[in-house]
Amino acid sequence: MLQGKKLLITGVLTPQSIAFACARVAQEQGAEVILTGFGRGLSITQRTAKRLPDPPEVLDMDVNDPDQVAAVEEALRERWGVLDGLLHAIAFAPEDALGGNFLDTPWESVATALRTSAYSFKALVVGLLPLLEERGGSAVTLDFDASVAWPGYDWMGVSKAALESVTRYLARDLGPRGIRVNCVSAGPLRTMAAKSIPGFDVFTDAWHRRAPLGWDVTDPTPVAGAVAFLLSEHARFITGEILHVDGGYHAMGADLTE
Ligand SMILES: NC(=O)c1ccc[n+]([C@@H]2O[C@H](COP(=O)([O-])OP(=O)(O)OC[C@H]3O[C@@H](n4cnc5c(N)ncnc54)[C@H](O)[C@@H]3O)[C@@H](O)[C@H]2O)c1
């Protein structure tokens, strides 16, 4: 599905990272992959990268640092001279922006959450635009359904609503330049990021009761399959879309009866 594609995958930290499964499936589907790691997590990303079928190069990138985004563009230009797709799998919110403190979270923490988790998608795509434009590219980001409010998710929920909107505006502005931009809205998965969400088990239980297909919080492979699809030519007329990979949870109005 991705034969000959050159892809940048951000957000691989541990083998549990959703982006790790995405990188694995992309390689299995024939893509060449380069990863980015961030800050103190960089060495962990380097170690995790070795567990991929074809251990890829890892570039250092804090998505909030325009110089580092420019350095990634430069490195990809040298290696490939083109970029067919990217996965944005980046989110962060300070502790006081999560866990039921919604009414008292200071703007500084909200700003950090919004910048790292929503604005950064725009920053990354625009930073890599000259390479993405070469032969028409696809950008995908990872979302958690922001059409409703969730317990404890607080300003990360607001950031995901912004991310969904950023996706639509990028799709609007970049479609005429041959670039597609989409979200995969995933069900809950046990990752490092999930550990920082207080009361994550509430989600696990809710999915257990409501998702008609069932849902395994330890298996990001179904999400990775959808990401691979959106990065592929099979999705060539899909943009501005939110594709739910959540076992059908989002489509149900109430818990299932036995
Ligand atoms: N785990 C879930 O239940 C779930 C569900 C839906 C969507 N998501 C989203 O999937 C994405 C990946 O998260 P994950 O759950 O795989 O967890 P994860 O902890 O494995 O990945 C989060 C990544 O964000 C990176 N990151 C944070 N700040 C950064 C910065 N300034 N610059 C560059 N990278 C930075 C981290 O290095 C890490 O690799 C996130 O956007 C998350 O919100 C997660």
Task: Note the pLDDT tens digit of each residue in 205-254.
Answer: 999 999 999 999 999 999 999 999 999 999 999 999 999 999 999 999 99
- With a pLDDT cut of 70, the percent of the chain lying above it is 100
Please tell me the residue having the least CA distance from ligand 1 atom 20: 17
Q: Are 16 and 191 in contact (CB under 8 A)?
A: yes
The pair of structure tokens assigned to 192 is 């490092």
CATH superfamily for domain 6-244: NAD(P)-binding Rossmann-like Domain (3.40.50.720)
The pair of structure tokens assigned to 254 is 């109430």
pTM of the model: 0.98
- The domain limits of the chain are 6-244
pLDDT surpassing 80 at residue 258: no
pLDDT surpassing 90 at residue 169: yes
Atom number, ligand 1, closest to the C-alpha of residue 13: 39
Task: Note the pLDDT tens digit of each residue in 208-220.
Answer: 999 999 999 999 9
How many Cβ atoms sit within 10 Å of the Cβ of residue 40?
A: 7
The pair of structure tokens assigned to 258 is 């036995």
- Band of pLDDT at residue 23, cut at 50, 70 and 90: very high
- Band of pLDDT at residue 151, cut at 50, 70 and 90: very high
Interval between CA 258 and ligand 1 midpoint (Å): 34
The pair of structure tokens assigned to 62 is 């804090």
Half-sphere exposure of 89 (CA within 13 A, CB side): 30
Atom number, ligand 1, closest to the C-alpha of residue 217: 3
- Catalytic residue (one of 5, 6, 122, 160): 160
How many Cβ atoms sit within 10 Å of the Cβ of residue 15?
A: 13
Judge whether 160 counts as a catalytic residue. Answer: yes
Ligand 1 interacting residues, C-beta cut-off 6 A = 10-14, 17-19, 38, 41, 61-64, 89-92, 116, 142-144, 186, 188-189, 191-194
Interval between CA 153 and ligand 1 midpoint (Å): 14
- Catalytic residue (one of 5, 6, 122, 153): 153
Interval between CA 21 and ligand 1 midpoint (Å): 13
Q: Are 145 and 187 in contact (CB under 8 A)?
A: no
Judge whether 153 counts as a catalytic residue. Answer: yes
